[in-house]
Chain A
């Protein structure tokens, strides 16, 4: 089974600063998808960014970017110019190749943004 590990239960960042959330995973597959999801307090889980393993280029979505290191099985999320609205629980996820393409999630990182 593919496991996903987020080693930082909580992180804090000041507004306008940059923060990096860590994620490592374990898999024997060569082609797969990785995701970062954001879950704001009492709100719906939404997709932040997606990375296809066959793509060497790191994915970027506005202020969000990833550092994908396939050999190291590392998939970190960088948030630039942090905003108060970025405060949320962030989950790293691996898409299975079976089980209907269900996701394996890490335990999550709670991000606090301070003014």
Chain B
């Protein structure tokens, strides 16, 4: 089974702090994603990566950055946390093209971040 893990289920940070959310997948997937989930808004794409050291902005990248130094790990960074970044953050991964299941995304359990 594909496993996507996230470093924390719950996190509380202060305004202005630098926050790191870690995501690790164990299936050698090329593509990794960070989504933000808010009630009534569904999931929105923050950033994605299709290879090591490659990253692309999603729909709501402002206030966030990412790092992918190793294929299995994709980190989301909040440079200076603000209260409007209080949310559920979901990491996902998917295989590359040419594989049997490259169309499917596998999700981590989520990190519920509260910024006070």
Residues in chain A within 8 A of chain B (CB atoms): 4, 9, 33, 35, 37, 43-47, 50, 91, 95, 99-103, 105-108
Known: A102-B45, A103-B43, A107-B42. A95 touches B107 (CB 8 A): no
Q: Determine whether the beta carbon of A107 is less than 8 Å from that of B109.
A: no
A102 is contacted by which of B41, B58, B107, B110 (Cβ under 8 Å)? Answer: B58
CB 8 Å contact bits of B96-115 with A (1 = contact, 0 = none): 00000011110111100000
Residues in chain B within 8 A of chain A (CB atoms): 31, 33, 35, 40-45, 48-50, 56, 58, 90, 92, 94, 102-105, 107-110
The answer for the CA separation of A46 and B104 in the assembled complex, in Å, is 10
Known: A102-B48, A106-B42. A44 touches B33 (CB 8 A): no
Q: Determine whether the beta carbon of A45 is less than 8 Å from that of B107.
A: yes
Q: Determine whether the beta carbon of A44 is less than 8 Å from that of B108.
A: yes
Contacting residues, chain B, for A46 (C-beta < 8 A): 107
The answer for the CA separation of A101 and B40 in the assembled complex, in Å, is 23
Q: Determine whether the beta carbon of B107 is less than 8 Å from that of A107.
A: no
Q: Give the top 6 A-B pairs by smallest Cβ distance, nearest first.
A: A45-B107, A105-B42, A105-B43, A100-B48, A107-B42, A100-B50
Q: How far is the CB of B79 from chain A (nearest CB, A)?
A: 22
A100 is contacted by which of B49, B90, B103, B108 (Cβ under 8 Å)? Answer: B49
Q: How far is the CB of B104 from chain A (nearest CB, A)?
A: 6
The answer for the CA separation of A82 and B44 in the assembled complex, in Å, is 29
Contacting residues, chain A, for B50 (C-beta < 8 A): 100
The answer for the CA separation of A101 and B96 in the assembled complex, in Å, is 10
Known: A100-B50, A105-B42, A105-B43. A95 touches B56 (CB 8 A): no
Q: Determine whether the beta carbon of B109 is less than 8 Å from that of A44.
A: yes
